[in-house]
A and B are shown apart, each in its own frame.
Chain A
């Protein structure tokens, strides 16, 4: 067997059923192995970045490690943004890149790029596989590292000769890994857990802040049980949206600069904050010291480096969130925080705005509310939001009732949604997968319409067309005296016609009254479908101020 065939066999052993990629000369041996074998499906994207986002979406929706592959040089560098996006959001992924022959490394030959070097800050780990014999060990380790501890992307750079060389001896896939310096801790320290229980029992105004770690640890159920048993209100970061049902009486919304009043009020008036897999990013908590001054902080995270990084923690618990929450649920008695919860609920209700429709325009916030109403009648949808105002409208107005919310939270990568939605739909074909994007972000990724068409991936796309880079324009209104610089999207195409040119059905809506019917038609479609919302200009992203 050649190295390329070995790579393929290893992927099969890992249970990989689909690879998102784009070929080229150096990775060609692997592509040949793919087609000769035929068991792993290959999805040809139209730009490598989207192969990365698709692997990320696949991973997030399926809970398995997503895989993408590209050629060397420009193929690999095109992938960097996707790796950085996945790294910031702790998404388990394995990326395979072709590389020039190992005897030519370092000589700047055609399509050589030091991709392991370039991706050092954006990968959990990387390999430059110069020895064909080591491929089984490397691939086994890569999948293990990607999926365990704090998950993240792992890169395997594959020189062409490594792929072409014959593998000596019999192929045996290792059944375990042994990396001396890598033994992630999963059970929380019992003393800290004891201290946490004591702090919880004393608190009058506790709050749980759920971050992306709750998703990574697949601990949605435990979070709900923990909150309900102890009657503790929950707020979430952007990455944690969807983990608590939006309408749950204990859920106070997303916090942060683009969050809602009740969530921010809760975290700033709590006497105990339980951070669950939340890394206290600046968009979620811009003044962590103010919060920490008032409250005791329990910080639960699988990554010890997150504890104390942005906020001091009184009670650090390093461990798998699901594990720790289970432990806490077992060891605590039921509590009641009626006054505190009722106060927050009243604040949430009082600050839930009603957006009055304007004739001839679509209010994107009403649109998201209607969308969630209709969707939840059909299925537990996966909503993928891009970046910009559209992302915030989605996060704050779509009511999650068991579905999922995927977005690029950490890096804020425009052009994330279509690739990610494609990956999610391939992972969960029976679910509705809806990508919501802006007209700016759509134009960064619209080449992927062809991929949806080619591979029959029935993603539903909503474009919030406001003819501007709305989020940046808002910023220019606020901080630069309304001097708009480089934010108008004049020159954009007629999106409906453009989409139809791909043979994909599309329609546009321009009034709140038309929205319901349009959404029904979109959801009914068994093909990919694009709905263009002619959004009222200057609808703010922030719900407060």
Chain B
């Protein structure tokens, strides 16, 4: 560490070094560490509903588990053995986020492979452009566009009924198809680019060598490309999973009337519920669960955290 600091100072000079280190420190502390610490702190506090505002900050204002307890078991007069609504929504969100991630992986791996190894020059550039340009449109607008596409009177239903596959329209929004499609689409770039980056650095000759030795396409991917792309795949999956589990706009706009996303509950606590401590507790649980799942995934695929950054 001392050595590193010395070479860093020597390379950049005092002024620039102080500025760079200061900027990084500020960024890490203000943007990452402090908010999380505040959240953590909040999540163990009483809300004004549980404690009289006049006693807030006084000796009675102690740390408490009530907020976590509420997530698990609900209010004291809840007849069920646990907080059915919130816990169900929580698990459904996690499972749905996993599904969105897998769907994105299945969709994006071939695209990334094609971009990195097959397409050349102009064609590749065009495809990248076609992938990126839709994201110039605001996220909310895109979500509404999906609503129009998938709505009961939307384009897709019109087409399907037009060519006679359907006789009655399907309400894709109510069935959550629109939500999953919207979430999946929202993060494809985050899946494609890490995978693309890794596969791009794979020596074409390795693919040809495998082919030359008699391999089928399927086996080339299983034995040569996918093992090589593992860091990129894990990195893409991590991002897509984290972001779709934590998405708010898409579920608000595209979610069916009966299906809540866990973030929507958190949002309600912060916003209409005016219960920041409880919202914080919910958010912390969601974050820790996601981190835990990602760590398990990495352990499973034997990817180190350093490799993901590549």
A interacts with B: no
Where the two chains meet, the residues of B that have a C-beta atom closer than 8 Å to any C-beta of A are none
